[in-house]
């Protein structure tokens, strides 16, 4: 159960696009289309932003998109806004009733 | 309104036990898998345990296997986490989270506000 690897921090200016990577292995990200992404503002509970790799829950802005290539999943935020500044976590099913999170990425909007 | 409300956290000595509860409302509880996810102060999210809709499929993180037990009572719309042999490293905010499927493998679409567990002498 090794954590998925995310960059510790990313930054971008309002209106720009950023991408957060999430690298796993062939036992988790690479084997299942069950990667999800969560946004967490300070002092708040996490919020589901993307599930099953690229699906958006109702109410989530279409500025958020997800993708996967091999053992790496990615979250892209386009048209960056101040309220997007938060921590972002990826998560994947890892087989045998096991789930693993990434270490988290702090997004700073400059 | 879809809601998850955790309770049962507190200050406990190392080696002791604690039982967390999560009350669900606003959705058909027994249609979905449920999970516990924790977050140590200033740290990231860590999945703790998940249980399928009928308790037939259960998983645990290696860090809690053999010490924690997840269970649910569909008649009471409630999820539980029995935590035994607690350690300082179990100190965290414990979230209850709803899966968007019936097996504990998909995504956590609803989260509670968490209950804090502090393990210290």
Contact A45 B50 (CB under 8 A): no
Q: What is residue B1's predicted lDDT score, i.e. its pLDDT?
A: 94
Mutation choice for A interface testing from B57, B107, B109, B116 by most A CBs within 10 A: B107
Contact B108 A57 (CB under 8 A): no
Q: What's the pLDDT band for B105 if we cut at 50, 70, 90?
A: confident
User: Smallest Cα–Cα separation from B59: which of A28, A97, A94, A100?
Assistant: A97
Specify the 3-state DSSP secondary structure of B70: strand
Strands B18-25 and B78-83: antiparallel
Kindly state the helix (H) or strand (E) to which residue A69 belongs, with its residue range.
strand A64-69
Q: Which member of B47, B57, B108 has the closest CB to residue A100?
A: B47
Q: Give the model confidence (pLDDT) of B5-47 as tens digits.
A: 999 999 999 999 999 999 999 999 999 999 999 999 999 999 9
Contact A57 B109 (CB under 8 A): yes
Phi-psi region of A10 (alpha: psi -120 to 50; beta: other; left: phi over 0): beta
Contact B106 A93 (CB under 8 A): yes
Confirm if A31 and A80 have CB atoms less than 8 A apart: no
Q: What is residue A100's predicted lDDT score, i.e. its pLDDT?
A: 96
Q: What's the pLDDT band for A97 if we cut at 50, 70, 90?
A: confident
Q: How far is CA A106 from CA A11, A39, A66, A75, A103, in A?
A: 8, 10, 17, 13, 10
**What residue in A sits closest to B103 (Cα-Cα)?**
A97
Q: What is residue A58's predicted lDDT score, i.e. its pLDDT?
A: 94
Q: How far is CA A75 from CA A2, A72, B108, in A?
A: 20, 10, 17
**What residue in A sits closest to B93 (Cα-Cα)?**
A45
What average pLDDT does range A90-102 have in this prediction? 93
What average pLDDT does range A91-95 have in this prediction? 93
């Amino acid at each position: 159960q090794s954590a998925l690897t995310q960059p510790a921090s990313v930054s971008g200016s309002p209106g720009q696009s950023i991408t957060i990577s999430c690298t796993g292995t062939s036992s988790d990200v690479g084997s299942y289309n069950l990667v999800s992404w969560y946004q967490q503002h300070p002092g708040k509970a996490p919020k589901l932003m993307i599930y099953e790799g690229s699906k958006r829950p109702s109410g989530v802005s279409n500025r958020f998109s997800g993708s996967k290539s091999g053992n790496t999943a990615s979250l892209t935020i386009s048209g960056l806004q101040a309220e997007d500044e938060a921590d972002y976590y990826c998560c994947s099913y890892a087989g045998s009733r096991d789930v693993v999170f990434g270490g988290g990425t702090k997004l700073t909007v400059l | 309104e879809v809601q998850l409300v955790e309770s049962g956290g507190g200050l406990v000595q190392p080696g002791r036990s604690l039982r967390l509860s999560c009350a669900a409302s606003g959705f058909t509880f027994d249609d979905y898998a449920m999970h516990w996810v924790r977050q140590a102060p200033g740290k990231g999210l860590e999945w703790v345990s998940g249980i399928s809709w009928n308790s037939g499929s259960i998983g645990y993180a290696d860090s809690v296997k053999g010490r924690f037990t997840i269970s649910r009572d569909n008649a009471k719309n409630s999820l539980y986490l029995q935590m035994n042999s607690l350690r300082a490293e179990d100190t965290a905010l414990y979230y209850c989270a709803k899966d968007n499927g019936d097996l504990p493998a998909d995504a956590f679409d609803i989260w509670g506000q968490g209950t804090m567990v502090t393990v210290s002498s």
